A and B are shown apart, each in its own frame.
Chain A
Amino acid sequence: QKEVEQDPGPLSVPEGAIVSLNCTYSNSAFQYFMWYRQYSRKGPELLMYTYSSGNKEDGRFTAQVDKSSKYISLFIRDSQPSDSATYLCAFHSQGGSEKLVFGKGTKLTVNP
């Protein structure tokens, strides 16, 4: 079983749609949960970061963590063409290596 599973898509939605992106993980040591956005030919940029189960909201973005199910989600409301990018989930262990473990990324296209 891979440490992180993320559906690579691609996902294509009309402008204004609600987008749901998901990752599952198997490593119980993961305690920090992140979503990165990566535009074409750019490096990943941090979008959302949380370390507890529950929801965290920032503007049109909501990150959801369910530690008991080892499942995290990112919701994008009122999606815009500028949201078209690859979305990567990333995980960090408590007290272990400093490294991030990434999912494969989901490529999202929002059509005007």
Chain B
Amino acid sequence: GAGVSQSPRYKVAKRGQDVALRCDPISGHVSLFWYQQALGQGPEFLTYFQNEAQLDKSGLPSDRFFAERPEGSVSTLKIQRTQQEDSAVYLCASSYGQGRDYGYTFGSGTRLTVV
């Protein structure tokens, strides 16, 4: 497609439930990023993939968060045993090469609400 596609757009989860968020990057983009944006805050880095390799996961807040990109295209961010503090917008971004050279294109995000 023309842009980065994320699904679902909205997700309401009961505390303790597992959720999976999907990101379809722009075709041919090798770099893929996940960010978490809390209300009234800027995006915070979670993790980075180059093709299928997860090169940086330093931003994942706990071992309840897991991301994968098994074939180097679609990526899934999984959150286990969701907590209220996980409520946020989860943004996916992709880039043709290194982001600083080619720029990043963001999706519209998945708004997760944990009740």
Chain A interfacial positions (CB closer than 8 Å to B):
4, 6, 8, 32, 41-46, 49, 51, 88, 90, 92, 97-105
Contact = CB atoms under 8 A, between A and B. Distances in A.
Interface of B: 4, 31, 33, 35, 40-45, 48, 50, 55-56, 58-59, 91, 93, 98-100, 103-104, 106-109, 111
Contact of B93 (A41, A43, A101): A43
Given A43-B93, A43-B109, A88-B42, A100 B104 contact: yes
A98 B98 contact: yes
Contact of A92 (B41, B58, B99, B108): B99
A98 B103 contact: no
A98 B35 CA distance: 12
A98 B56 contact: yes
B108 A43 contact: yes
Contacts of A32: 100
A51 to B, nearest CB: 8
Contact of A97 (B35, B56, B108): B56
Nearest to B9: A41
Contacts of B100: 32, 51, 92, 98
